[in-house]
Structure 1
Amino acid sequence: MTVLLLLLTAHFIGDFYLQPRAWIENRHARGIRASALYKHSVIHFALATLALWIADAGFVAAIVWGLFIALTHWLIDWAKSGHHSLIAFIIDQLAHILAILTVTVLLTGVTKAQLSAMAAMLIEPDTLLCMLGYIIVLNPASILIAQVLARHTKVLATGENQSLGDAGRWIGYVERVLALSFILVGQYTGLGFLVATKTVFRVGDLSKAKDMRLTEYMMLGTLFSFALALIVGWIIIAIVPA
């Protein structure tokens, strides 16, 4: 579990904190000829090797498996070049995580039975798990929300004062899911947060119907952001023993 968490932490740091936007644009524009593609892979090699060294995998093993992760990362990012959709982003991240899982299984010699046992227990190390949770809800969550809201962002840029179409429906979906979740975990004060948030953003619309699209856009982004943070937090709480 320690090897897996360290490699995941290294991946998210390399993908979302040590990759400038200019590199992403360069990779999408030039594909296999992009210098950023190679720079990014070198960073992942360094981070993966460091993570494996910290996990006491051995110097040679750390370098070999670090190279494997860097190579698979290069191939996956090359395949994603030019694709900006939410589905492409999710598939890209799942492919990276699959490569990390493969390294973990091969390096640690984990059997299917052991994987099942670890999945059932999901205990230790608590500190690394919490750190990973914070890393995910910061930059990766921001990029995911931007992908989700990309279509609405284009509509908002038209400058016409009207609704975003199905944004209201999605706000309702997220709001109801969060409300039900608050009830299931006994956090009824969270319902007050939702009511207060909706009241603050909608009071202007009720009086003069001004900037409805901007209001819906802000609410949708806020609720998605809040939902992601809650989901990650609840997963951590469920995994970490009381």
Structure 2
Amino acid sequence: MAEWQTLLLWLIIGHVVADFYLQPMSWVNDRNNRHFKSTKVIWHSLVHGVLAFIALAVWQHNYDFGVSSAAFGYATLVTVSHYLIDIGKSYSSKGVIPFLLDQLAHLLVILLITFNLSEPFHISEQLLSFISTPSNLIIGLGYLLVLTPASVMIRMLLERWAYMGNEEESLPQAGNLIGQLERVLLLTCILIDSWAAVGFILAAKSVFRFGDLTAKRDRKLTEYVMLGTLVSILVTLSVAGLITTFL
């Protein structure tokens, strides 16, 4: 493992520990209610800074760089940036989008630190090599195919048997999302050669669906769901077969 990868992992581990294990819910509520007047967010940011300093110092020591003032400087950057990002998030609405944007902003700071402390050309060269590797491109294309393109094709194949049920009884777009997640899980299990997990996923879905379909006593719905599931599995197996053939 390259030096920059070790540093990146240590900084991310420190972030995860500080953000999700060392931050009580009372601190989160205090930040959301009091915003920049909150003292808890200051303590939380300092925890991030301390863990970042430890990660940086240990990394420098392990690679014989010598613990320099840069560790303290970048740990201060983590502290200040985390405070500003969290204060900004406290004014946003709750939900997954603000959460993801918040985590992405923190990750960008970590990437910036890693990039500055390591050899930029070396990092860029390794990343470019990774994304340019044909096998990685083929796998990435496979995952793209089993998401929206597969959903469109399945919908077109089943269009003549479209089931016109009561849409108010289900979540909007839930069926489409379930199908996409199912195909991603199946493709992943096939690529890592875990066929037992494939059987478990299909069995688990069948158990949940069985109770729902039995309660409705709707033969058309049962047949439609079976068709959709089988076509979805067939598409995933086809994409997985193509991937393994090219690899």
Q: Where on the TM-score scale, by shorter chain, does this alignment land: which range?
A: 0.5 to 0.7
Q: Percent identity?
A: 38
Q: What is the CA deviation profile of residues 151-193 of structure 1, one whole-angstrom value per residue up to 9, with x for unaligned ones?
A: xxxxxxxxxx942232222111211222233334443333211
Larger Rg: 2
Using CA pairs under 8 Å that are at least 6 residues apart, name the structure with larger relative contact order, 1 or 2: 1
Task: Give 1:9's match in structure 2, choosing from 13, 20, 23.
Answer: 13
Within-5 A mapping of 1:1-242: 1=4, 2-56=6-60, 58-83=67-92, 84-108=94-118, 110-111=119-120, 113-119=121-127, 162-209=169-216
Cα deviation code 1:63-104 (max 9, x no counterpart): 221111110111111111132222211111111111111112
Which range moved further: 46-55 or 187-196?
187-196
Q: Is the 8 A contact 1:29 1:82 kept in 2?
A: no
Deviation at 1:53? 1.2
CA distance in 1, matches of 2:205, 2:10: 39
Distance 2:56 2:188 in 1: 37
Q: What is the alpha-carbon distance in structure 2 between the residues aligned to residue 11 and residue 184 of structure 1?
A: 31
How far 1:58 moved relative to its partner? 1.2
The CA distance in 2 between the partners of 1:179 and 1:68, in whole Å, is: 42
What is the TM-score with the length of structure 1 in the denominator?
0.63
Q: Is the 8 A contact 1:49 1:66 kept in 2?
A: yes
The letter for the 2-side match of 1:177 is V
5+ residue gaps, structure 2:
61-65, 131-167, 217-247
Amino acid across the alignment from 1:58? V
Q: Which structure 1 residue ranges, 5 or more long, are not aligned?
A: 123-160, 210-242
Runs of 4+ in 1 over 6 A off after TM superposition: none
Return the alpha-carbon distance in structure 2 between the equivalents of residues 192 and 185 of structure 1: 14
Count of residue correspondences = 170
